[in-house]
Amino acid sequence: MTESSTTDAAASTELESRYGAPRRSVSAKSQRWMILGALVLAFGAIVYFTLGNAVGQLTHNDVGYTITSDTEASVDFEVSKDQDATVQCMIHVLDNSYAVVGARVVTIGPHEGSSPGDRSEYYRTDLRTESRGVTGVVDSCWQLE
């Protein structure tokens, strides 16, 4: 053994005793498995939060309306809810100054279906109005206990 290698070994031993042994790097194969595991966990989290938010959530969308006469209108709308839930929706017909000229509470009971695609259904309701309306909207929906 030469003197420089002995000096290097002594310096290395001294550094190890002071700062600890140098870290070993993670192998490329281990890095690939860690990345794959992180991707699987991220995908699982996305699926969990997407499905978790859909279950139990009540949403409504205006689809269309028809002003039949000065005293009648109909409103088409979509409601997404759990199949076994009963909800009520407030439907409004508005005039050109956004005043409510017709209103009705619609009760929507449980319906058939078991897949997540069966959560949404379309409805049409007819309303009597005080004067000619220009639009029909779903104001709000709520779940009955």
Q: What is the pTM of this model?
A: 0.60
State which of 31, 54, 77 marks the end of a domain: 54
Average pLDDT over residues 10-19: 78
Residues 44 and 90 in one domain: no
Residue finishing a domain among 54, 76, 91: 54
Indicate whether 25 pLDDT > 90: no
What is the distance between the alpha carbons of residues 113 and 115, in angstroms, rounded to a whole number?
6
Q: What is the dihedral of CA 60, 81, 73, 64, to 10 degrees?
A: 50
Residues 15 and 40 in one domain: yes
Of the residues 30, 54, 78, the one at which a domain ends: 54
- What's the CATH number where 137 sits? 2.60.40
Q: Domain span at residue 82?
A: 59-143
* Pair (122, 78) in one structural domain: yes
In total, how many domains does the chain have? 2
Same domain, 135 and 75: yes
**Does 76 lie in the same domain as 15?**
no
The verdict on 67 and 105 lying in the same domain is yes
Contact criterion met (CB below 8 Å) for 142 and 90:
no
Is 78 within 8 Å of 122 (Cβ atoms)?
yes
Each residue's pLDDT tens digit, 108-139: 998 877 676 678 899 999 999 999 999 999 99
Residues 122 and 69 in one domain: yes
Mean pLDDT of the chain: 86
Contact assessment for residue 107 and residue 99, using Cβ atoms and an 8 Å cutoff: no
Sorted by sequence, the CB contacts under 8 Å of residue 82 that are 6+ apart come out as 55, 56, 119
